[in-house]
Chains A and B, each alone.
Chain A
Amino acid sequence: MIRLGFYPGCSMEGGAREYQESVIALAKVFDIELIQIPDWNCCGATAAHNLNKELSLSLPTRILALAEKNELMDIVVPCAACYSRLTVTNHELNKDKSLADKVCDVIDMPYSGNVNVLNIIQFIQKYIADKLEEKVTTPFNYNVACYYGCLLVRPNGILKFDRPEDPQTMDILVKKAGGNAIDWAYKAECCGAGMSVSRTDIVARLSGNIIRDAVERKAEVLAVACPMCHSNLDMRRPEINKFLKKEVDVPVLYISQILGLAVGLDAKTLGLQRHMVAVNLPEKKAEQPAPITNTIKTEA
């Protein structure tokens, strides 16, 4: 049994609880226990870094300090936005010792800067990917548009994950699960992020462009790794369809749900019934998984 730290973040306790359900269920299949960081707080998200730099570093540092205090030196952070805030904070603190001291003083806790933050793809790559193919019982035999969005891959110099243009890591996982990861143009374009409530019109347009390109290139499913992207592409579908002037019902699944289905977990365990756009995937007979053609090395 491998035991790792786990930071769900607020969305995964609320509107995106199916993401948490599917990540934990998938980890269990591979004999991994995810341990929540005790008494974790919100990372501050966009609101904090838009209004106050010190606050935007202090909130994530409290989370990292609590992880360290509980000897959870590797933490899995499936929300791309939380992952970004925690990783950027680590980077800023390690770059500037006096800033780190100041922030530790604010949170009233020590922190060394050494907690290792893993996004969902890094977690799967490191602990699951090698054993994935042998566990696949139901190949996910669909055309999948892997949507990375912004914060999983940018700023690349700090995150040092995949590549910022045409990233590939999620595509490789989907192929291992028996899916056909399609080439498309909006993989790393922005969905409108935190504007969902305050400027819904902008989200409808940006997310609408993403959905349109995926569908035009014959995607049957979109794969995502961020609750905010999911909420914009799924919950905002009525607004998107209004922008596109047509009814598009392509479902949006978390990468953990796609891999979970492939290894035989049932839809309910993975929380598929919680999506606003119904997940009605057509029955397909198992075929040979698409060959993996792209094996680009992604370490920076």
Chain B
Amino acid sequence: MSSHEHVHHKEGLAADVTSNTGVPVNKCYQCGKCSAGCPVAFEMDYPPSMVLRMLQTESKNNDEKLLKSNAIWLCVSCEMCYGRCPMEIDIPVLMDYLRQRAYTEKKVNPKAHNIVAFHKAFLNSINQTGRLYEVGLVMDYKMRTGALMQDVEKSPKMFIKGKLSLIPEMIKDKRNIKNIFNKTLKNKKS
């Protein structure tokens, strides 16, 4: 946990970040290396260094903008920003926290709908069988997004090459997996 007296006593997203993750938001001095190295900054509404600056302002308005941003969902967790940050601010952990907040508070940016649909389909597959079933994942994703025709041209070739299984792998102790999901996702909206 870092020492930030002026954040410490306040309410707001920056204070929540620090108390929940220990990520020292106020250490950022806007050198911009994170945004320069971020592979998806070109597509983000707020690049990583701006996310940090907006948190530092401790404005309710900016907090809302961040939770509703596209940027937090575009972050691919490649860890480049953290690797290059001179203050070693763990931006990927910060992004995870912002995503989890946006998700539970139902503030997911509409443009990120497909990305979140994919994550949900992914977790759903694990919850069912204990392992990821790739064919099931893609079918589930298509149902959630309506992208029914996406990548259909790839399937025959992948099947011939032995890359698609028609039957999901199941683990034995499925009850244990269900319990893990129930215990961790309880009180969380989906």
Contact = CB atoms under 8 A, between A and B. Distances in A.
Are A and B subunits of one complex?
A: yes
Interface stretch (A7-15, A123-131, A174-182, A247-255): A7-15
Interface stretch (B4-12, B55-63, B150-158): B150-158
Q: Is the contact region of chain B dominated by helix, strand, or loop, or is it mixed?
A: helix
A197 B132 contact: no
A227 B103 CA distance: 28
Given A17-B163, A39-B173, A190-B80, A55 B130 contact: no
Nearest to A45: B122
Contacts of B184: 52, 54-55, 58, 106
A190 B40 CA distance: 9
* Residue of B131, B165, B173, B184 most packed against chain A (CB within 10 A): B184
Nearest to A14: B134
Interface stretch (A110-118, A198-206, A211-219): A198-206
B87 interface: no
B164 A14 contact: yes
B90 to A, nearest CB: 8
A154 B77 CA distance: 10
A88 to B, nearest CB: 10
Contact of B177 (A13, A41, A197, A275): A41
A274 interface: yes
B148 interface: no
Contact of A235 (B130, B150, B158): B158
A197 B145 CA distance: 11
A42 interface: yes
A108 interface: yes
Contacts of B158: 15, 235, 276
B117 interface: yes
B45 interface: no
Contacts of A198: 114-115, 117-118, 141
